[in-house]
Amino acid sequence: MVNNGLNHHNSEPGMELAEFTRARPGAGVLVPAIPQMPGSYRQAPGENPSESVSRFVRVLLAHKWKILSFMALSMVLAVVVSLFLQKLYEGTATIKLDAKNSAGIIGQQATTSLAGNDMDQIITTEIEIVQSDPVLRPVVEKYHLLEMEKQTRGLDPAEIERLHNAPIELKRLKVKRPPNTYLILISYRAPTPELAAAITNAIADSYIAHAFDSKNRSYAEVSGLIARQLKELRAKTEASSALLTSYEKELDMVDPEQRTSVLSTRLLQLNTEYTGAQADRMKKEADDKENRLPTVASAEVSVQGQALERAVERLDTARQHFATVSSVYGENNAEYKKSQKEVKELETQVEALKNNTRDRVHSDYLEALERENGVRLLLDQTKKEFERLSARTFQYQQLKQDADNDRKLYEDLDRHTREGDINNGFEDTIIQISSRALPPLEQVFPKLLLNLAIAFVLSGLVAAFVAMVSDAVDSTFSEPEDVAARLQVDLLCSVPAVKELPRASVLASAEEPGPAPNGKSQKRALALDRFGEAIRGLRNTISIGHIGRPVGSLLITSSFPGEGKSTTAAYLALTFALLGKRTLLIDADLRRGTAHSQFNLNGGHGLSDVLLGKAEWADAAVKIEPHPLYVMPSGFSRRASDLIGPGMSDLLNQIGREFDVILIDAPPLGFAESQQLASIVDGVMVVAKSGTTGGKVLAQTFAALFRARANVVGLVLNQVKGSRNADFGYYGYAYGYANRKGAIPTSKI
């Protein structure tokens, strides 16, 4: 058999991958494939924004009828619900808060106005008060609003009683503030316009009444408290004045502060003297310690330092002279003795001066210490007297300040109390009803157009979200783009789905196409034509694959039964034969062969007889007239499946030179003979059913082929529904009926 240099088991794996070519779906152009392990599956591929948008659009188009049906149903439900809902009308009353009004008529309150910065907090507080229980309860009890709002529906009497005793909350009440205003809008919804206006005005009146009642009640409570405090302040002021007078008599002085100033001046002077004495003592103590050292330098710091310094200089001069004389004369010389005597006399004199100096310095130190102790004693006595007088003076000043404060507080509180009584007599006009609620003309709920718009938007978003989630969790391939995005393998072709596809024998015997049909027949003809174009594209891809060198033998398999591999193999063989190529289709599925049914052949004899040695291959192959197409059925022997590995290798070597193309319809890859066949053919093509075969299953399939050292040509995505890659637009029908070489006639379908 001639393998055209492409026999897989005679090449290295890296070279096989380098020889792969990649076909872009629908493009009709082949580009060199990137060496990689076939079938690597990616569950969540990383896509750029344009690819994400394109995928989103594809998913929406794939589920468009479901999405549109769900949106239409949602809008119908919105209309039905809107018609059955109770109509509600809304009444609105406006409350005005005057920020420029003063807080009083006379006194300091007359010049005080509400701060603009505080109005936001004030308005927010008033909005909460409008919705409080004291304001709403009278209106709720008058109009039975809890029953009107159906809050008591389904409750037993005990629960209804607890609901009435709990803080009131009205669901249909709305209180808000228009931006950048001092207004409060009170709105309530009721079944009739008149009732809505009446309830809203009742809530506004209740709020105004509650505001004034609260103010008057608060003022009464504060007035009583102030009256009690005034009485206590009066008694306290009288007691402070009496205690101050008693304290002045006890001190026997009119101005205790004057005496304190004299003592303060004396204390300051003594403190200065003590500091000077302490400094003098410390200096003389240091001199005394230094004079106790047996050195001349320590004695020179005293008062007699100059005399001692002169004596030391004379001693140094005599010693120098004696050193000179001793170097010239001997010890018995008169000049030597004279100089030596002079040195001894000066040393005796210096020692005497040093002793006198030490005694004098020590005496000065003792005198300074005695003076420091005397000044410190006097300072301590003066300080104690000053502290005693200062404490009594502070107590006096504190009593005087307390008495003055009590008197002033009493006078201010008494004045403000009288002013408050006068201001409370005038009506506070800060809170006013600007406009009362009037019966509205139109209902505010339900709004049909708004409900339809909301239903349209929400249902569209929910449907799109569900479609994307279902697409994300779906591991099957429905579009050719899914293969490129999630499975790293060559996509050879995407074959569109066709209902009731005719057998290959019908197309093999077809001649000239008939007139173009109409209606449903035309749609079916278009579908068949798209199918034929896809098979021809697959044929061309295989023909020019591997850098222009055709595949001698091609194995066609799948992951599971029922994915259309046998049908694809039959039509692919027919397209090769229509080009004039000698083509052999071998049905190697010895368990469930179907090639004979595609061409209306007797399936009793075939490949099994050849493998068992009961027949020659030329006898088992049946020619399909009038084309150079030969079909070898599978036969019925099951024992031949054990011989399919070595037997097929010998068979392909025998018939390799007799045919241009050999197509082998193999069982799914779950059977051992498929993997054996994959290792001896020139190429392997896998067929997967769109929307059925999972990505992980296909990844395992390609991994098994890779382990078997198979030369994987690529993947065919079969039965693609609504594939845009198979839509030829203008050329879809008329061009498909042209009588051209290599076309699949479909006139009798």
Is it the case that residue 18 has pLDDT exceeding 60?
Answer: no
Q: Check residues 165 and 117 and name the one with the higher pLDDT.
A: 165
Is beta strand 431-435 parallel, antiparallel or unpaired with respect to 661-665? unpaired
pLDDT of residue 192: 92
For 332-351, the pLDDT digits (tens) are 888 888 888 888 888 887 77
Pairing of strands 40-41, 487-488: antiparallel
Distance of CA 460 to the CA centre of its chain: 26
Q: Could you tell me the pLDDT band of residue 139, with boundaries at 50, 70 and 90?
A: very high
Asked whether the predicted pLDDT for residue 167 surpasses 80, the reply is yes
* Residue 93's pLDDT band (cuts 50, 70, 90): very high
Confidence of residue 29 (pLDDT cuts 50, 70, 90): very low
For every residue of 121-152, DSSP letters joined together read HHHHHHHHHHTSHHHHHHHHHHHTHHHHTTTT
Question: In angstroms, how far is the first alpha carbon of the chain from the final one?
Answer: 38
Whole-angstrom distance, CA of residue 350 vs CA of residue 467: 120
Residue 104: predicted pLDDT: 54
Residue 741 predicted with pLDDT over 80: no
Pairing state between β 683-689 and 622-624: unpaired
pLDDT of 730 above 60: no
Tell me the average pLDDT across 474-497: 68
Per DSSP bridges, beta strands 491-496 and 21-23 are: unpaired
Q: Which of 95-109, 634-648, 650-664 has the highest mean pLDDT?
A: 650-664
Confidence tier at 45 by pLDDT (50, 70, 90):
very low
Q: 437: pLDDT confidence band, cut at 50, 70 and 90?
A: very high
Q: Is the pLDDT of residue 177 over 60?
A: yes
Residue found by looking up tokens 């300091």 in the block: 108
Helix (H, G, I), strand (E, B) or coil at 701: helix
Question: Which pLDDT value is given to residue 506?
Answer: 60
Report, as an integer, the average pLDDT of 536-555.
72
CA distances from 492 to 350, 423, 454, 651, 678 (A): 127, 96, 46, 27, 18
* Spatial contact of 184 and 94, defined as CB atoms under 8 Å apart: yes
Using pLDDT thresholds of 50, 70 and 90, give the confidence band for residue 38: very low
pLDDT value of position 728: 44
Domains plus CATH for the chain? 8-23+490-737 (3.40.50.300), 256-424 (1.10.287)
Task: Give CA angle at 212 (210, 215), nearest 5°.
Answer: 105
The single residue listed with the structure tokens 């005597």 is 341
Mean pLDDT score, 73-94: 90
Burial (CB count within 10 angstroms: exposed 0-12, middle 13-18, buried 19+), residue 293: exposed
Q: If we measure between CA atoms, which residue out of 183, 174, 206 comes closest to residue 119?
A: 183
Task: Select from 98, 97, 190, 175 the least CA-distant residue to 136.
Answer: 175
Say how far apart CA 516 and CA 733 lie, in whole Å: 8
Cis amide bond preceding 513, omega within 30: no
pLDDT in tens, 243-299: 767 766 655 444 555 555 666 777 788 788 888 888 888 887 777 777 666 555 555
| Band (194; pLDDT cuts 50, 70, 90) | very high
Q: What pLDDT, on the 0 to 100 scale, is given for residue 317? A: 87
Residue 42 pLDDT > 60, yes or no?
Answer: no
The pLDDT assigned to 592 comes to: 79
Residue 514's pLDDT is what?
A: 45
pLDDT at 310: 81
Confidence of residue 462 (pLDDT cuts 50, 70, 90): very high
Instruction: Provide the b/e sequence for 51-83 (b: ≥16 CB within 10 Å).
Output: eeeebeebbbebbeeebeebbeebbeebeeebe
For residue 551, the model assigns a pLDDT of: 62
| pLDDT value of position 302 | 54
Peptide bond preceding 138: is omega within 30 degrees of 0, i.e. cis?
no
- DSSP H helices in 425-552: 448-473, 480-486, 504-508, 519-543
Q: What is the pTM of this model?
A: 0.45
**Other CB atoms closer than 10 Å to residue 670's CB: what's the count?**
15
Write the CA distances from 290 to 36, 284, 285, 501, integer angstroms: 99, 10, 9, 130
Where does the pLDDT of residue 607 fall: very low under 50, low under 70, confident under 90, or very high at 90 and above?
confident
Residue 638, pLDDT > 60, answer yes
Q: pLDDT, tens digit, for every residue of 660-679?
A: 899 998 888 877 777 888 88
With helix as H, strand as E and coil as C, how does 162-224 read? Answer: HHHHCCCCCCCEEEECCCCCCEEEEEEEECCHHHHHHHHHHHHHHHHHHHHHHHHHHHHHHHH
Q: How confident is the model at residue 21 (pLDDT cuts 50, 70, 90)?
A: very low
The band of 162, judged by pLDDT with boundaries at 50, 70 and 90, is very high
Residue 576 has pLDDT above 80, yes or no: yes
Alpha helices in 628-691 (DSSP H): 644-655, 672-678
List pLDDT tens digits, range 347-397. Answer: 887 778 777 777 777 787 888 888 888 888 888 887 887 777 677 667 667
For residue 128, what are its two tokens?
């909460």
Q: What are phi and psi of 180, to 5 degrees?
A: 60, 35
Question: Beta-carbon neighbour count of residue 562 at 10 Å?
Answer: 10
> pLDDT-based confidence at 103, cuts 50/70/90?
low
Question: Which are the contacts of 312, defined by CB distance < 8 A and separation ≥ 6?
Answer: 296, 350
The rounded Cα 284 to chain-centroid distance in angstroms is 80
Spatial distance between the Cα atoms of 162 and 152, rounded to a whole number of angstroms: 10
pLDDT exceeds cutoff 50 at 596:
yes
In this prediction, residue 513 carries a pLDDT of 44
- Rounded Cα–Cα distance for residues 490 and 39 (Å): 9
Please compute the mean of the pLDDT values over residues 395-417 and round it to a whole number: 74
Tokens of 412: 């201010």
Closest CA to 286 of 276, 275, 301: 301
- CA–CA dist 99, 110 (Å, integer): 14
Query: What DSSP element (H or E) covers 71?
Result: helix 64-84
CB 510 within 8 A of CB 747: yes
| 253 within 8 A of 396, measured Cβ to Cβ | no
Place of tokens 């240099």: 5
**pLDDT of residue 235 exceeding 90:** no
Structure tokens at 25: 């779906």
- Give me the residue label for tokens 């239903």: 455
What is the C-alpha separation between 210 and 358, in angstroms, rounded?
100
Whole-number mean pLDDT of the chain?
Answer: 75
Tell me which range, 80-84, 455-459, 558-562, is most confidently predicted by mean pLDDT: 455-459
Which of 258-262, 375-379, 496-500, 734-738 has the weakest average pLDDT?
Answer: 734-738
Give the residue among 574, 407, 400, 577 at the shortest CA–CA distance from 503.
574
Q: What percentage of the chain has pLDDT greater than the value 70?
A: 72
Distance CA 425, CA 270 (A): 68
Answer with the residue of higher pLDDT: 21 or 264.
Answer: 264
Contact assessment for residue 282 and residue 317, using Cβ atoms and an 8 Å cutoff:
no
